[in-house]
């Protein structure tokens, strides 16, 4: 009796799917059971459990490449990850995620340099967007949060408070020509306009108001407003960058938690 062609085709499809499944599982076993991105090849050291451990080079099946440290099969320590799409990350890893200082570039040409926690921008950092706009200051959960500086291509400068990626709180616009505007923003929308800062405004805003026209065009001077040195003897502490509703003691506790997280 002749086999039904439709049954034969269905059986062939099932056999092919089973072979693909077995092949993928084998790759995952060879690559430390990475369930998200299987690897194509690995060169480097391993531990007694045959996990990637130490220094190595991993090439994923999707074309991504990682070169750097491993700990029990996960990216750990200093390393560089290059995406097939064109972006890259170079810096510190912890348990497979960006953690610590690093530099991340994106396919559109944007570039971030600064701190990461759990693969998200968090802490002090600066980002240059594809259109040339630059932000320097604090990040939280991957978003602009705290006091930061934005430099625009038209010569305008803004220093102010951000929350969840939007202008929120006090802010100052100054132009290289000398024009200035003080205002209050709520969720990205300006609600008031003025010319004077309240005395309890963050230190960075007061210093920004005092800059000369020449200093407004000096990258180092602008950076010093919101990117204090990392050394303990830094002249401008991160407390100066906190929103006004955060007390000095809260700021110290937050900094202590951040140091413990990075330890």
The domain boundary, picked from 64, 90, 107, lies at 107
The answer to whether residue 140 scores a pLDDT higher than 90 is: yes
Please say if the pLDDT value at position 232 is more than 50: no
Its pTM stands at 0.71
Contact 168, 187 (CB under 8 A): yes
**Percent of the chain clearing pLDDT 70 (strictly above):** 76
Q: Please tell me the predicted confidence (pLDDT) of residue 224.
A: 86
pLDDT tens digits, residue range 233-260?
333 334 434 444 444 344 445 445 544 5
Q: Which one has a higher pLDDT value, 128 or 193? A: 128
Confidence at 213, pLDDT banded by 50, 70, 90? confident
Instruction: Round to whole Å and give the CA distance between 42 and 31.
Output: 8
The residue among 107, 124, 142 that closes a domain is 107
Structural domain includes residue 119: no
Asked if residue 128 is part of any domain, the answer here is no
pLDDT at position 10 is: 72
First to last CA, the chain: 73
> What's the pLDDT tens digit per position in 55-96?
999 999 899 999 999 999 999 999 999 999 999 999 999 999
User: For residue 107, what are the CA distances in angstroms to 11, 112, 134, 166?
Assistant: 43, 12, 17, 24
Q: Which two tokens stand for residue 122?
A: 């968090």
For residue 62, the enclosing domain spans 28-107
Q: Do 98 and 196 fall within a single domain? A: no
Residue-wise pLDDT for 23-61, tens only, equals 555 555 445 545 345 678 999 999 998 899 999 999 998
Q: Is the pLDDT of residue 153 over 80?
A: yes
Distance (Å, rounded) from C-alpha 64 to C-alpha 57?
Answer: 11
Strand-pairing partners, residue 80, are 67, 90
> Lowest mean pLDDT: which of 14-23, 76-85, 98-107, 165-174?
14-23
Average pLDDT, the chain: 80
Helices (H), 106-226: 203-210, 219-226
Q: CA-CA distance, 159 to 203, in Å (whole number)?
A: 11
- Residue 40: the pLDDT is 86
Residue 18 included in any domain: no
Query: What is the pLDDT, as a whole number, of residue 8?
Result: 67
If one counts the domains in the chain, the total is 2
**Residue 206 within any structural domain of the chain:** yes
Contact 137, 227 (CB under 8 A): yes
């Amino acid at each position: 009796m002749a086999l039904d062609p439709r049954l034969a085709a269905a059986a062939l499809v099932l056999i092919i799917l089973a072979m693909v499944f077995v092949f993928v599982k084998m790759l995952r076993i060879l690559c430390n059971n990475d369930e998200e991105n299987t690897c194509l090849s690995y060169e480097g050291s391993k531990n007694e459990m045959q996990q990637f451990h130490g220094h190595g080079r991993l090439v994923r099946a999707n074309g991504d490449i990682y070169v750097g440290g491993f700990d029990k099969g996960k990216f750990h320590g200093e390393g560089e990850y290059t995406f097939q799409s064109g972006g890259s990350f170079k810096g510190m890893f912890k348990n497979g995620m960006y953690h610590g200082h690093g530099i991340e570039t994106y396919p559109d040409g944007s570039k971030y340099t600064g701190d990461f926690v759990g693969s998200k921008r968090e802490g002090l950092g600066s980002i240059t967007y594809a259109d040339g706009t630059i932000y320097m200051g604090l990040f939280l959960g991957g978003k602009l949060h705290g006091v930061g500086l934005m430099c625009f291509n038209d010569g305008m400068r803004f220093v102010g408070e951000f929350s969840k990626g939007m202008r929120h709180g006090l802010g100052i616009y100054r132009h290289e020509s000398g024009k200035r505007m003080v205002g209050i923003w709520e969720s990205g929308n300006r609600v008031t306009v003025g010319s004077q800062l309240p005395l309890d405004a963050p230190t960075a805003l007061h210093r920004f108001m005092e800059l000369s026209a020449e200093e407004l065009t000096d990258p180092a001077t602008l950076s010093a407003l919101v990117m204090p040195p990392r050394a303990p003897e830094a002249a401008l502490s991160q407390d100066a960058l906190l929103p006004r509703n955060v007390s000095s003691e809260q700021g110290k506790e937050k900094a202590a938690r951040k140091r413990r997280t990075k330890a």
